[in-house]
């Protein structure tokens, strides 16, 4: 056996041992970055698809980072006048989760609510991708391959929400941070 083989093997094992820690650190850093923007309002429009056939086409999209706790951040997401959606980011024992909380005007849950998934190990402090979980696949079979990616620009001025299904882009919204009275953007 080559004398360098044990060193190489030890180096590879050492690298492999750090990967989950790095991924968890990136998820924690993303969560903290989102939390640091608590109270921020982001506005924009759908940038994909461009066909105009989507129900979100031409509507003002607004995400407000609110209710920022140690384990959960809620981001109400309005599509025009429709305020039925909230993105819920939760830190739990299984990792970082994104859920889509859909409510009727009276506050009761929609039949299709709380779908989403856990962050993958490939994220960074500025972007996390959430693959559809088993609950989502059962609730909305067509969404079983969904991957939602939420990105924050390094300066905190842009939030991007991107959805892929079957590895193909399905929806993208690019939202810009809005100045708030008494606060710097």
Task: Report how far residue 54's alpha carbon sits from residue 33's, in angstroms, rounded to the nearest whole number.
Answer: 30
What pLDDT does residue 56 have? Answer: 84
CA pair distance 65, 85, nearest whole angstrom:
13
**How many residues make up the chain in this entry?**
185
Q: What is the pLDDT along the chain (185 residues), one digit of tens a residue?
A: 455 544 544 444 444 444 455 878 999 999 999 999 999 999 999 988 766 667 888 899 999 999 999 999 999 999 999 999 999 999 999 899 999 999 999 999 999 999 999 999 999 999 999 999 999 999 999 999 999 999 999 999 999 999 999 999 999 999 999 987 655 54
Residue 21 has a pLDDT of 55
Domains along the chain with CATH numbers:
4-177 (2.40.128.20)
Residues 132 and 170: their CA atoms lie apart, in Å, by: 14
pLDDT at residue 53, as a whole number = 60
Q: How far apart are CA 172 and CA 50, in angstroms?
A: 10
Only one residue has tokens 């993105």, namely 87
């Amino acid at each position: 056996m080559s004398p360098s083989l044990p060193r190489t093997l030890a180096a590879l094992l050492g690298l492999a041992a750090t990967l989950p820690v790095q991924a968890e650190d990136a998820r924690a850093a993303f969560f903290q970055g989102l939390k640091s923007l608590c109270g921020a309002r982001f506005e924009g429009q759908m940038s994909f698809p461009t066909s105009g056939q989507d129900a979100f086409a031409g509507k003002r999209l607004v995400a407000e980072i609110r209710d920022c706790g140690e384990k959960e951040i809620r981001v109400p997401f309005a599509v025009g006048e429709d305020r039925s959606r909230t993105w819920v980011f939760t830190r739990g024992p299984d990792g970082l989760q994104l859920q889509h909380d859909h409510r009727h005007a009276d506050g009761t849950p929609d039949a299709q609510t709380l779908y989403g998934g856990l962050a993958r190990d490939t994220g960074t402090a500025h972007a996390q991708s959430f693959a559809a979980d088993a609950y989502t696949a059962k609730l909305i079979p067509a969404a079983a391959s969904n991957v939602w990616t939420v990105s924050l620009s390094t300066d905190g001025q842009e939030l991007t929400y991107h959805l892929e299904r079957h590895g193909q882009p399905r929806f993208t919204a690019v939202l810009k941070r809005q100045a708030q009275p008494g606060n710097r953007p």
